Amino acid sequence: MSDQYKYNLSENDLPTSWYNINPDMPVDPAKTAWNAVLNPQTKEPVTPEFLSVLFPMKFIQEAVSMERWIEIPEEVQEIYKLWRPTPLIRARRLEKALDTPAHIYYKYEGASPVGSHKANTAVPQAFYAKQEGCVGFTTETGAGQWGTALAMATNMFGLECHVYMVKVSYHQKPYRRIIMESFGSSVVASPSDQTSYGRKMQELYPDTPGSLGMAISEAVEAAATSNGKYKYSLGSVLGPVLMHQSVIGQEALKQMEMAGEYPDVVIGCVGGGSNFAGIAFPFIRENLTNGKKTRIVAVEPTACPTLTKGTYAFDYGDTAQMAPIVKMHTLGHDFVPQGIHAGGLRYHGMAPHVSALVDSGHVEAIALDQLDTFEGAMMFARAEGLFPAPESSHAVRAAINEAIKAKEEGKARVIVFNLSGHGFFDLTAYDDYRKGKLEKFEYPEEKIAESMKNLPQVAF
Amino acid sequence: MSDQYKYNLSENDLPTSWYNINPDMPVDPAKTAWNAVLNPQTKEPVTPEFLSVLFPMKFIQEAVSMERWIEIPEEVQEIYKLWRPTPLIRARRLEKALDTPAHIYYKYEGASPVGSHKANTAVPQAFYAKQEGCVGFTTETGAGQWGTALAMATNMFGLECHVYMVKVSYHQKPYRRIIMESFGSSVVASPSDQTSYGRKMQELYPDTPGSLGMAISEAVEAAATSNGKYKYSLGSVLGPVLMHQSVIGQEALKQMEMAGEYPDVVIGCVGGGSNFAGIAFPFIRENLTNGKKTRIVAVEPTACPTLTKGTYAFDYGDTAQMAPIVKMHTLGHDFVPQGIHAGGLRYHGMAPHVSALVDSGHVEAIALDQLDTFEGAMMFARAEGLFPAPESSHAVRAAINEAIKAKEEGKARVIVFNLSGHGFFDLTAYDDYRKGKLEKFEYPEEKIAESMKNLPQVAF
DSSP state of B53: T
C-alpha span between A69 and A29 (Å, rounded): 19
Chain A residue with minimum CA distance to B12: A4
Region A437-457: mean pLDDT is 91
> Where along chain A do its domains lie?
6-14+73-115+240-452, 39-70+118-236
User: Which residues in B have their CB inside 8 Å of a CB on A?
Assistant: 4-6, 8-11, 78, 81-83, 89, 93, 111-115, 119, 152, 155-156, 174-175, 178-179, 181-184, 378, 381-382, 384-387, 424-425, 427-428, 430-431, 434
Give the DSSP H/E element, type plus range, for residue A399. Answer: helix A392-409
DSSP state of A244: H
How many CB contacts within 8 angstroms connect chain A with chain B?
111
- Given a cut of 70, whether residue B216 has pLDDT beyond it is yes
| Shortest CA gap A1–chain B (Å) | 15
- Given a cut of 90, whether residue B208 has pLDDT beyond it is no
Chain-wide mean pLDDT for chain A?
94
CB spacing of B156 vs A385 below 8 angstroms: yes
CB spacing of A386 vs B424 below 8 angstroms: no
| Shortest CA gap A184–chain B (Å) | 9
- Given a cut of 60, whether residue A458 has pLDDT beyond it is yes
Beta strands in B213-335 (DSSP E): 230-232, 265-269, 295-301, 311-316, 325-330
Q: What would the pLDDT profile of B235-255 be if each residue is shown by its tens digit?
A: 999 999 999 999 999 999 999
Burial class of B308 by CB neighbour count within 10 A (0 to 12, 13 to 18, 19+): middle
Mutation target for B interface from A382, A422, A426, A435: give the one with most B CBs within 10 A.
A382
- Given a cut of 90, whether residue B415 has pLDDT beyond it is yes
Q: What would the pLDDT profile of A151-186 be if each residue is shown by its tens digit?
A: 999 999 999 999 999 998 898 888 999 999 999 999
Angle at A60 between CA A56 and CA A62, to 5 degrees: 115
Residue B210: predicted pLDDT: 87
CB spacing of A5 vs B152 below 8 angstroms: no
- Given a cut of 90, whether residue A133 has pLDDT beyond it is yes
Instruction: Name the CATH architecture for the domain at B6-14+73-115+240-452.
Output: 3-Layer(aba) Sandwich (3.40)
* Partner residue facing A387 (CB), from B8, B179, B386: B179
Q: What would the pLDDT profile of A198-252 be if each residue is shown by its tens digit?
A: 999 999 999 988 888 889 999 999 999 999 999 999 999 999 999 999 999 999 9
- Given a cut of 80, whether residue A456 has pLDDT beyond it is yes
Burial class of A35 by CB neighbour count within 10 A (0 to 12, 13 to 18, 19+): middle
* pTM metric for this prediction: 0.95
Using a CB-CB cut-off of 8 Å, the residues of chain B touching A258 are: none
- Given a cut of 60, whether residue A378 has pLDDT beyond it is yes
Q: Are strands B295-301 and B364-368 parallel, antiparallel or unpaired?
A: parallel
Instruction: Give the bridge partners for A137, in sequence order.
Output: A161, A231
C-alpha span between A266 and A405 (Å, rounded): 15
C-alpha span between A355 and A36 (Å, rounded): 13
Spatial CA neighbour of A148 closest among A172, A198, A112? A112
C-alpha span between A107 and A86 (Å, rounded): 7
Spatial CA neighbour of B196 closest among B234, B162, B170, B224? B224
pLDDT band (50, 70, 90) for residue A143: confident
| Shortest CA gap A321–chain B (Å) | 35
Instruction: Give the bridge partners for A416, in sequence order.
Output: A105, A266
pLDDT band (50, 70, 90) for residue A340: confident
C-alpha span between A396 and A268 (Å, rounded): 9
CB spacing of A434 vs B181 below 8 angstroms: yes
Using a CB-CB cut-off of 8 Å, the residues of chain B touching A427 are: 174-175, 178-179, 182
| Shortest CA gap B175–chain A (Å) | 6
CB spacing of B175 vs A387 below 8 angstroms: no
Residue A49: predicted pLDDT: 86
C-alpha span between A146 and A123 (Å, rounded): 12
Q: What would the pLDDT profile of B418-428 be if each residue is shown by its tens digit?
A: 999 999 999 99
Residue B349: predicted pLDDT: 94
Using a CB-CB cut-off of 8 Å, the residues of chain B touching A147 are: none
* B86 Cα distance to chain centroid: 17
Region B299-304: mean pLDDT is 96
3-state secondary structure of B369: coil
CB spacing of A181 vs B434 below 8 angstroms: yes
- Given a cut of 70, whether residue A2 has pLDDT beyond it is no
| Shortest CA gap B166–chain A (Å) | 20
DSSP state of B20: -
Residue A336: predicted pLDDT: 82
The class (CATH top level) of A39-70+118-236 is alpha beta
C-alpha span between B71 and B62 (Å, rounded): 11
**Quick one: what percent of chain B has pLDDT higher than 90?**
84
Instruction: Give the bridge partners for B89, in sequence order.
Output: B6, B106
Residue A31: predicted pLDDT: 67
Phi and psi at B458, nearest 5°, equal: -125, 145
pLDDT band (50, 70, 90) for residue B28: confident
Q: Are strands A103-108 and A6-7 parallel, antiparallel or unpaired?
A: unpaired
Residue B275: predicted pLDDT: 98
* Partner residue facing A10 (CB), from B8, B174, B427: B8
Region A344-362: mean pLDDT is 94
Region A24-33: mean pLDDT is 80
Using a CB-CB cut-off of 8 Å, the residues of chain A touching B438 are: none
- Given a cut of 60, whether residue B1 has pLDDT beyond it is no
Residue B338: predicted pLDDT: 81
pLDDT band (50, 70, 90) for residue A20: very high
Same fold, A6-14+73-115+240-452 and A39-70+118-236: yes
Q: What would the pLDDT profile of B315-370 be if each residue is shown by its tens digit?
A: 999 888 988 899 999 999 988 888 888 888 888 999 999 999 999 999 999 999 99
- Given a cut of 70, whether residue B2 has pLDDT beyond it is no
CB spacing of B382 vs A427 below 8 angstroms: no
Q: What would the pLDDT profile of B30-48 be if each residue is shown by its tens digit?
A: 667 777 889 999 999 998 8
Region B110-121: mean pLDDT is 96
> CA quadruple A32, A34, A35, A38: dihedral positive or negative?
positive
C-alpha span between B112 and A243 (Å, rounded): 30
Using a CB-CB cut-off of 8 Å, the residues of chain A touching B427 are: 174-175, 178-179, 182
